[in-house]
C-alpha cells in the first residue's frame, strides 16, 4: 500500500470523526433542559450542519482517492482536496468566531 493511499484513508477517517464530534457537540447536546435555545446556538447548529455535510463529502472523496492511489498517482488531486478541506474548516471556524462575537448567548449580565 502506498503512502499516499494511507494518507488519503487517514484524512477521510479524520473527516468522519470530526463530523461526528461536531454533531455530538453542536447538534445532539444543544440547548438547556427546558428547551431554550439561544440565538448563538441556532446559528451554530446551522453552521454545524454545513460542516457535517462538507466533512462527509470530503471523507468520501478522500476514501475514493485512497482507493485510486493504489492504481495510479493521485498526489496532485490529494493535495488539492486536502487544501480545499482545510480552507473549508478555516472558513467555518471564522464564521463561528464571528457568531460568538456578535450573537447573544446564554451568559447573563
Closest CA to 63 of 1, 9, 10, 18: 9
Q: Is 6 in contact with 70 (CB distance < 8 Å)?
A: no
Higher pLDDT, 14 or 106: 14
Examine the pLDDT at 106 and tell me if it is beyond 70.
no
pLDDT tier at 51 (50, 70, 90 boundaries)? very high
Rounded to whole angstroms, the Cα distance separating 25 from 71 reads: 38
Q: How far is CA 98 from CA 25, 30, 77, 92, 104, in A?
A: 18, 19, 32, 10, 12
Please tell me the predicted confidence (pLDDT) of residue 55: 95
Phi, psi of 106 (to 5 degrees): -90, 5
Please tell me the predicted confidence (pLDDT) of residue 109: 52
Please tell me the predicted confidence (pLDDT) of residue 29: 75
Examine the pLDDT at 40 and tell me if it is beyond 90.
no
Q: What is the pTM of this model?
A: 0.86
Rounded to whole angstroms, the Cα distance separating 11 from 72 reads: 19
Cell of 87: 480552507
Q: Is 28 in contact with 57 (CB distance < 8 Å)?
A: no
Amino acid at each position: 500500500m502506498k503512502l499516499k493511499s494511507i494518507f488519503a484513508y487517514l484524512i477521510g477517517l479524520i473527516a468522519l470523526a470530526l463530523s461526528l464530534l461536531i454533531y455530538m457537540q453542536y447538534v445532539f447536546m444543544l440547548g438547556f433542559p427546558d428547551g431554550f435555545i439561544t440565538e448563538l446556538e441556532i446559528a451554530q447548529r446551522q453552521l454545524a450542519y454545513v460542516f457535517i455535510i462538507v466533512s462527509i463529502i470530503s471523507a468520501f472523496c478522500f476514501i475514493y482517492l485512497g482507493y485510486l492511489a493504489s492504481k495510479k498517482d493521485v498526489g496532485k488531486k490529494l493535495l488539492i482536496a486536502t487544501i480545499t478541506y482545510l480552507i473549508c474548516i478555516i472558513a467555518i471556524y471564522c464564521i463561528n468566531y464571528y457568531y460568538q462575537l456578535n450573537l447573544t448567548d446564554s451568559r447573563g449580565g
